[in-house]
Amino acid sequence: MFFGKAAIKGIVGAVKPKQVPSVEISSPIATTYDINKLHTTQPAELLNQGQVKNFMETIQTHGVDSVGRIPIHVHKGKALIVDGHHRVAAFKKLGYKRIPVQYIQSARLKKYYRILEDMLLLMRPLGG
């Protein structure tokens, strides 16, 4: 799926669960994404809980924008986390339902040292 530069510009502030608006953002160009619809592409054993805790503290102290958008790639309707598994885990532990994302095209995956086929082998729903 292709998303142009206009689709990834700007950040719609992520909201904590108690502040979630009643209208869902369902457009594919939205710059926030439902955290429970993301698919992890990294073994859980690689998550360092110390790093997750540090990201949690940063988000709480300096806000959502302080940790950057999470690069995702949409493949056959599934949103794959390209990079930022520790940040996603921090957002999840803090109770965020939507998080800021940046859509990555297939050709740009190599910038993150990722190969789509490898990501698909490791893919599993992040879930609730």
Question: Which residues form the catalytic set?
Answer: 45
- Classified as helix, coil or strand, 10 is coil
* Cβ–Cβ < 8 Å for 54, 88: no
Q: What share of the chain is helix, strand, coil (3-state, %, to 5)?
A: 40, 20, 40
- Classified as helix, coil or strand, 70 is strand
